[in-house]
Amino acid sequence: MVAVMVVMIVVTVVLMVVVIVVIIVLVLMVVMVVFVLVVMMVMVMVVFVVMVVVMEVVLMVVIVLVTLMVVMVVVMIVVVLMVAVVVIVLLMVAVEEVMMVEVMLVVMVLVMVILVVMVVG
C-alpha cells in the first residue's frame, strides 16, 4: 500500500510539474507572439512615418527647384528682352530711318536665335 501511495504521489507531482511547464511554455509563446506583433507594428509605423517625412521633404525640394527654374527662365527672358530693346534703340539712334526695316529684321532674328538657344540649353 505504501508503495502504491508513493507511486501515486510521484505520478501526481510529475503530472503537476508537466502541466505547469506546459502552461509556462504556452504563456511564453503567447508573450513572444505578442511581442513580435508589437515590434512589427512599431516598425511599420516608424517606416510609414519616415516615408511620409521623406516624401514631404522631396516634394518641398522639388517645388523649390521648380520655382527656382521658372524664376531663372523668366529673369533670363526679361534680360534678353531688355537687351534686345536697348540694342533696337541704339540702332535706331545710330542708323538712319532708311535702314530701319533691315535693322528690325536683324534684331528680331537675333532675339529668336537667343530664345531658341536658351530653351535648348
* Cβ–Cβ under 8 Å, residues 100 and 58: no
Predicted TM-score (pTM) of the model is: 0.38
Mean pLDDT of 40-59: 91
Quote the radius of gyration of the chain (alpha carbons, Å). 43
pLDDT in tens, 62-107: 999 999 998 888 888 888 888 887 777 777 666 665 566 666 777 7
pLDDT-based confidence at residue 119 (cuts at 50, 70, 90): confident
Instruction: Give the distance from CA 98 to its chain's centroid.
Output: 60
Task: Look at 114 and 23; give whichever has higher pLDDT.
Answer: 23
Q: How many CA atoms are closer than 13 Å to the CA of 89, on its beta-carbon side? A: 6
Task: Please give the single-letter amino acid code of residue 41.
Answer: M
Among left, alpha and beta (phi > 0; psi -120 to 50; other), residue 14 is alpha
Site of grid cell 505520478: 11
